[in-house]
């Protein structure tokens, strides 16, 4: 099969997108004779059967006047459409991957050219828009209304030939039952257990509580920061580590200064990929209070490294976290709820067993071999349809 992959056309999440494309390519490459990659950022490939095309969206910024943002998006969709038209002989199937499920005009063209269109539905766009609007103005900050994004999502998913989700749980979370006849579970990420491993037993770790990820409203990171003074009021010996980049970095630093937390909260900034296991092995607890998710990579990595995860029950989190068995579920992501659950977890005598059970789940269900077995079913179906 000749397969095209469209990744994010934004440069704002450069390393995240590169890693996502690298993982997807490593999974799909055994099933394809030729790969075409279109994205703002991607790894370098030496293989002659992998062609890369760099395409960057217009007005690539977090916040912008709403009309400018909409015009930039329309022009980007048109640019992608023209690019696909010029490359139409390069692919028979086109996969819209992470950050790319927002370009319906190019999708329509692909259908007109009789290409088979596969869309990854990581998150319902309406929920992403709702989470992104927290504390932001529609007009000034370009926060697109959830209803508009929900309609956009419905159009894209209706046009698609196939919809791939990373987990069965995401079918209901993303309201995909109406499209059930074309939905398949198709993982896009796996854990390398030799790279992400337990280097320090939980009982040998200090009371370090952390977060690594994109610093956006949707991740609930500000709520975590606001929970820190409450936690410290009962556990003064606890330390906190926050790593990542994003639009909320300055606000997080302001909260740290306002609460006189500099000595207790270590801010890492962006953490290089090869350093992530090191920091995860320092943490006893990993807090992930997100508003909306797919199958979160950060949670899988934390579990693989032996940190006990506390997460909100969004997206496919419940596939990973069984409360009290492989981690803890936050009833909501308010600062008070986060603090209450962190304090309870610190006092739980079963933390060591929870960490080991979580690691065992990753080794069983989320290694390359396990993910390839599930992916083989989805791509096998696609291959059989292509031969007809």
What confidence score (pLDDT) does residue 133 get?
Answer: 59
What confidence score (pLDDT) does residue 217 get?
Answer: 86
Is 253 within the bounds of a domain? yes
355 pLDDT above the threshold of 80: yes
* pLDDT > 70 fraction of the chain, expressed in percent and rounded: 92
Average pLDDT, the chain: 88
Give 318 or 385, the one with higher predicted confidence: 318
- Residue 273 DSSP label: G
Is 174 within the bounds of a domain? yes
pLDDT tier at 382 (50, 70, 90 boundaries)?
low
121 and 238 in a single domain? The answer is no
181 and 52 in a single domain? The answer is yes
Is 197 within the bounds of a domain? no
Is 357 within the bounds of a domain? yes
Q: How many CB atoms lie within 10 A of CB 386?
A: 12
36 and 175 in a single domain? The answer is yes
145 and 273 in a single domain? The answer is no
286 and 378 in a single domain? The answer is no
Which domain, by its residues, includes 175? 2-189+367-386
> What is the domain-level CATH number for residue 274?
3.40.50.2000
Lowest-confidence region among 117-121, 128-132, 179-183, 360-364: 128-132
pLDDT tier at 121 (50, 70, 90 boundaries)?
confident
Q: Which residues pair with 162 in a beta bridge?
A: 118
Q: Which stretches does DSSP call E strand in the chain? A: 2-6, 34-39, 50-54, 93-96, 116-120, 162-165, 183-185, 208-212, 239-243, 265-269, 285-288, 308-311, 328-329
168 and 58 in a single domain? The answer is yes
Cα–Cα distance measured from residue 343 to residue 337, given in angstroms and rounded to the nearest whole number: 10
Is 310 within the bounds of a domain? yes
215 and 140 in a single domain? The answer is no
What is the phi-psi region of residue 148: left when phi exceeds 0, alpha when psi lies from -120 to 50, beta otherwise? Answer: alpha
Cα–Cα distance measured from residue 16 to residue 21, given in angstroms and rounded to the nearest whole number: 9
240 pLDDT above the threshold of 70: yes
What confidence score (pLDDT) does residue 3 get?
Answer: 92
216 and 308 in a single domain? The answer is yes
Lowest-confidence region among 127-131, 218-222, 270-274, 330-334: 127-131
85 pLDDT above the threshold of 90: yes
Lowest-confidence region among 143-157, 301-315, 337-351, 356-370: 143-157
Q: How many CB atoms lie within 10 A of CB 337?
A: 17
- Counting Cβ atoms within 10 Å, is residue 258 exposed (0-12), middle (13-18) or buried (19+)? exposed
Per-residue pLDDT, averaged over 94-110, amounts to 87
pLDDT tier at 134 (50, 70, 90 boundaries)?
low
Is 195 within the bounds of a domain? no
342 pLDDT above the threshold of 80: yes
What is the DSSP track for 157-199? HHH-SEEEES-THHHHHTT-GGGGGGEEE-------TTTS---
**Residue 121 CA from chain centroid, whole number:** 11
Q: Is the CA virtual torsion 306, 308, 312, 316 positive or negative?
A: positive
What's this model's pTM, rounded to 2 decimal places? 0.85
In tens, the pLDDT along 315-335 reads 899 999 999 999 999 999 999
| Domain count for the chain | 2
In tens, the pLDDT along 192-220 reads 999 999 999 999 999 999 999 989 888 99
128 and 223 in a single domain? The answer is no
Cα–Cα distance measured from residue 289 to residue 221, given in angstroms and rounded to the nearest whole number: 7
164 and 213 in a single domain? The answer is no
Is 194 within the bounds of a domain? no
In tens, the pLDDT along 37-55 reads 999 989 899 999 999 999 9
Among 343, 350, 363, 286, smallest CA distance to 324 is for 350
Cα–Cα distance measured from residue 154 to residue 66, given in angstroms and rounded to the nearest whole number: 21
What confidence score (pLDDT) does residue 142 get?
Answer: 57
In tens, the pLDDT along 163-179 reads 988 888 888 888 899 99
Cα–Cα distance measured from residue 39 to residue 283, given in angstroms and rounded to the nearest whole number: 34
104 and 155 in a single domain? The answer is yes
Is 110 within the bounds of a domain? yes
pLDDT tier at 115 (50, 70, 90 boundaries)?
very high
353 and 377 in a single domain? The answer is no
Tokens representing 21 are 């494309």
* pLDDT > 90 fraction of the chain, expressed in percent and rounded: 56
């Amino acid at each position: 099969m000749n397969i095209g992959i469209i990744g994010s056309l934004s440069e704002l999440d450069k390393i995240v997108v590169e890693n996502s494309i690298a993982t997807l390519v490593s999974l799909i490459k055994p099933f394809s004779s030729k790969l075409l990659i279109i994205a703002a950022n991607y790894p370098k490939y030496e293989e002659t059967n992998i062609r890369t095309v760099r395409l960057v969206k217009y007005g690539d910024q977090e916040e912008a006047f709403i009309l400018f943002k909409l015009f930039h998006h329309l022009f980007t969709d048109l640019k992608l459409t023209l690019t696909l038209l010029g490359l139409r002989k390069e692919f028979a199937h086109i996969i819209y991957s992470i950050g790319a499920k927002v370009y319906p005009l190019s999708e329509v063209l692909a259908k007109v050219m009789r290409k088979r269109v596969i869309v990854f539905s990581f998150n319902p766009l309406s929920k992403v828009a709702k989470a992104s609007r927290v504390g932001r103005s529609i007009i000034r900050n370009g926060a697109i209304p959830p209803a508009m994004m929900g309609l956009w999502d419905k159009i894209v998913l209706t046009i698609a030939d196939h919809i791939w989700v990373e987990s069965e749980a995401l079918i209901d979370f993303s309201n995909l039952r109406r499209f059930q006849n074309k939905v398949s579970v198709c993982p896009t990420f796996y854990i390398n257990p030799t790279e992400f491993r337990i280097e320090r037993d939980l009982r040998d770790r200090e009371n370090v509580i952390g977060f690594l990820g994109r610093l956006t409203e949707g991740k609930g990171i500000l709520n975590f920061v606001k929970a820190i003074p409450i936690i410290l009021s009962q556990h003064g010996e606890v330390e906190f580590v926050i790593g990542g980049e994003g639009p909320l970095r300055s606000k997080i630093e302001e909260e740290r200064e306002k609460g006189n937390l500099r000595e207790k909260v270590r801010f890492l900034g962006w953490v290089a990929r090869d350093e992530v296991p090191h920091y995860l092995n320092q943490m006893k607890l990993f807090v992930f209070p997100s508003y909306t998710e797919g199958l979160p990579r950060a949670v899988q990595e934390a579990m693989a490294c032996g940190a006990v995860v506390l997460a909100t029950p969004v997206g496919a989190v419940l596939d990973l976290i069984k409360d009290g068995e492989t981690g803890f579920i936050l009833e909501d992501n308010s600062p008070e709820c986060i603090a209450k659950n962190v304090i309870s977890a610190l006092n739980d005598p079963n933390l060591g067993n929870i960490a080991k059970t979580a690691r065992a789940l990753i080794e069983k269900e989320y290694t390359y071999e396990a993910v390839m077995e599930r992916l083989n079913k989805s791509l096998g179906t696609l291959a059989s349809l292509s031969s007809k």
